[in-house]
Structure 1
Amino acid sequence: MGPKLLQLCTLLPSTHDKLAAHYEVHQWPAEAAREEWLRDNASGVRAVVTGGHLGITNEMIDRLPDLGIVAINGVGYDRVDLDHAKAAGVRLTNTPDVLTDDVADLAVALMLNVMRRLPAADRHVRDGLWPHGPQALTRRASGRRYGIVGLGRIGHAIAERLAGFGGRIAYSGPNRKPVDHDYHADVAALAAKSDVLFVATAASAATRALIDRAVLDALGPEGVLINVARGSVIDEDALVAALAEGRLGGAGLDVFVDEPHVPETLLGLENVVLAPHVGSATRETREAMGNLMLDNLDAFFAGRPLPTPVV
């Protein structure tokens, strides 16, 4: 039996089988049974596998005295206190790169769905309305001014896809990148120059509510916001108000502040396309994520350098 491991997130069956073949895997129980589980099983837990949307609390780190590594099956680590983990001597890994293409694909798909109103078109056909007249006209997605907040791995992949749409691409971020796209240090300035604003920046204290009312108003009543980053990067109350009041033209959202809960107002808006945080949800990417997560665990316990360390 291998090292003792606590699994907090759902994994592909194939990934779970590989994990169970090398580790003593314990599943995180239902909330009512967690205190008892920690009392009886915390000792000896050497690793935790979790998702970026779940992370791990400081309290749990402190209650697992033998914890050595937290392996995130995902790219985000905003739900982990990096300073606390480091102080506790806990390594942290994630699974970057392998999900970049799928998240970028979804970002562009959300843009197309919002601007061409594909969900409404689907309902129009399914509800038998087509014989009674066409769907209302929509808006062209190509040839637009595209702004990208955060030109990291995913932002760059979005830009590569948008290059085929014949528009103009600009971006914002902490630093200028060696690319030909226009750079705006200020996000509101980028929004004012954009028809579609893609949010692809990492979630952190510095980016919390980065997309606020000023940015949304700069994007304007014809503008479209696409978020494939984290819900916390957007002031969600300001977003809901801007959409409901017509100060923002539309939005495509894969992430929310309090997942899986979505603001009720958004559910009734025709200019919004909602997805349940599925940016990386393809069989190919989830398999690759699981394999990289396993590689990090195996390297840690073998004393080798971690493939994708965070701390």
Structure 2
Amino acid sequence: MSEHLVVALGPVDADTVCPVLGEHATLVTDPTPEDLTVAEGAIVRADRRVDEDFLRQAPRLRVIARTGVGVDLVDVAAASARGIPVVITPHSGTRAVAEGVFAMALHLVKRLKPLTELVRDGRWAERSAVPVGDLDGATLGIVGYGRIGRRVGELAAAFGMRTLAYDPFSPPPPEFASADLDELVESSDVVTLHAPLTEGTRHLVDERLLARVRPGAILINCGRGGLLDPDATLAAMESGRLSGVGLDVFDPEPALHHPLFDHPDVVLTPHLMGMTRRAMTLTFRDAARGVADVLAGREPPAVANPDWKNYRKATA
């Protein structure tokens, strides 16, 4: 008989999770209130809320594993106060998101949408009127040089791009570093956002910054929706300051319609670039491994609240 009950909050791939949890744990994919009262672990999808009310319903909970890195809907402080680690899976989607950046960049630089329409509509003779650009020889500006930002830089090198990066928290190597954001956007043909969303970074890309962007630049946001001001971004598109925008993230989510969405040189995806088939398998595996570690008395490799151990010791 299994020793531990683990509940899934949101769709979880049991075929991936159960072998990692092992024979001493049972996964319940559609938990009842009774299941919550005895659950020791929870694997939580990004759109599910874990607050104090949920924690009261799960008095035996020992670990929360979030599939991904964002913990906006998890009351991390409340979990810490109960000595519960909030496991995150920072490595599973890194490569997928970085590929998503280049999917959007190529779509916009190579003008795939208008060129598709030309062929579809039988307007072949008009093809010279659509300017097609290059990534080779262009400059990529990376805002936020963490795991994903670094991977984006690696792919940029393969495309023959020059890379600039800005991150006040994790300074890039000197050969890539920009002194500030103004310098970065003034010098970049493509700007991609990978900074965390904090009070200090909300609407980081605003009217003032966009006025300094290199004319005709492309802006891509696969980081957090709140990093850019959509009104200012639309104005920059309409003025021609920006020639294209790619958005995978929005504020709020699910996205509420904004006139920016209707611009022909905007490409949109529903916060899915880090959720490829391979990335989702990896994130479920890593989340399950974090749960299994805690239930076995081991320290999980990545948590959003490293202070959880202090609270657990205090209540032991």
Instruction: Tell me if the contact between 1:58 and 1:84 (Cα under 8 Å) persists in the aligned partners.
Output: yes
Structure 1 residue 26 displacement after superposition: 4.5
Cα distance in structure 2, aligned partners of 1:160 and 1:232:
26
**Alignment partner for residue 181 of structure 1, among 156, 173, 176?**
176
Instruction: Tell me if the contact between 2:187 and 2:214 (Cα under 8 Å) persists in the aligned partners.
Output: no
**Counterpart in 2 of 1:231?**
225
Cα distance in structure 2, aligned partners of 1:132 and 1:13:
53
Q: Which aligned segments of 4 or more residues in structure 1 are displaced greater than 6 angstroms?
A: none
Structure 1: gaps (5+ residues): 29-36
**More divergent stretch after superposition (90-99 vs 114-123):** 114-123
Cα distance in structure 1, aligned partners of 2:123 and 2:13:
40
1:309 paired with 2:303, answer yes
1:65 paired with 2:45, answer no
Instruction: Tell me if the contact between 2:118 and 2:124 (Cα under 8 Å) persists in the aligned partners.
Output: no
**More divergent stretch after superposition (47-56 vs 221-230):** 47-56
Tell me: CA distance 1:267–1:66, structure 2 relative to 1, closer, same or farther (3 Å).
Answer: same
SS in structure 2 opposite 1:61? helix
**Counterpart in 2 of 1:7?**
8
SS in structure 2 opposite 1:27? coil
TM-score by length of 2: 0.83
Structure 2: gaps (5+ residues): 306-316
**Counterpart in 1 of 2:290?**
296
CA offsets per residue over residues 169-219 of structure 1, 9 Å max, x none? 1111114233521323x3233222222111012233443322222222222
Instruction: Tell me if the contact between 2:164 and 2:176 (Cα under 8 Å) persists in the aligned partners.
Output: yes
Cα distance in structure 2, aligned partners of 1:20 and 1:27:
19
Cα distance in structure 2, aligned partners of 1:299 and 1:79:
23
Structure 1 residue 103 displacement after superposition: 1.0
SS in structure 1 opposite 2:42? strand
Cα distance in structure 2, aligned partners of 1:73 and 1:197:
27
Matches within 5 A, 1:1-311: 1-12=2-13, 14-15=15-16, 18=19, 22-27=25-30, 38=33, 42-54=36-48, 56-125=50-119, 127-131=120-124, 133-134=126-127, 136-175=130-169, 176-184=171-179, 186-219=180-213, 221-311=215-305
**More divergent stretch after superposition (2-11 vs 195-204):** 2-11
Cα distance in structure 1, aligned partners of 2:109 and 2:51:
39
TM-score by length of 1: 0.85
Cα distance in structure 2, aligned partners of 1:241 and 1:2:
58
Instruction: Tell me if the contact between 1:55 and 1:77 (Cα under 8 Å) persists in the aligned partners.
Output: no
Structure 1 residue 244 displacement after superposition: 4.2
Structure 1 residue 41 displacement after superposition: 5.2
SS in structure 2 opposite 1:43? helix
Instruction: Tell me if the contact between 1:212 and 1:235 (Cα under 8 Å) persists in the aligned partners.
Output: yes
SS in structure 1 opposite 2:140? strand
**More divergent stretch after superposition (276-285 vs 286-295):** 276-285
Cα distance in structure 2, aligned partners of 1:58 and 1:216:
40
RMSD: 2.6
Instruction: Tell me if the contact between 2:7 and 2:35 (Cα under 8 Å) persists in the aligned partners.
Output: no
Instruction: Tell me if the contact between 1:159 and 1:169 (Cα under 8 Å) persists in the aligned partners.
Output: yes
Instruction: Tell me if the contact between 1:76 and 1:203 (Cα under 8 Å) persists in the aligned partners.
Output: no
Tell me: CA distance 1:42–1:199, structure 2 relative to 1, closer, same or farther (3 Å).
Answer: same
Identity of aligned residues (%): 29
**Counterpart in 1 of 2:311?**
none
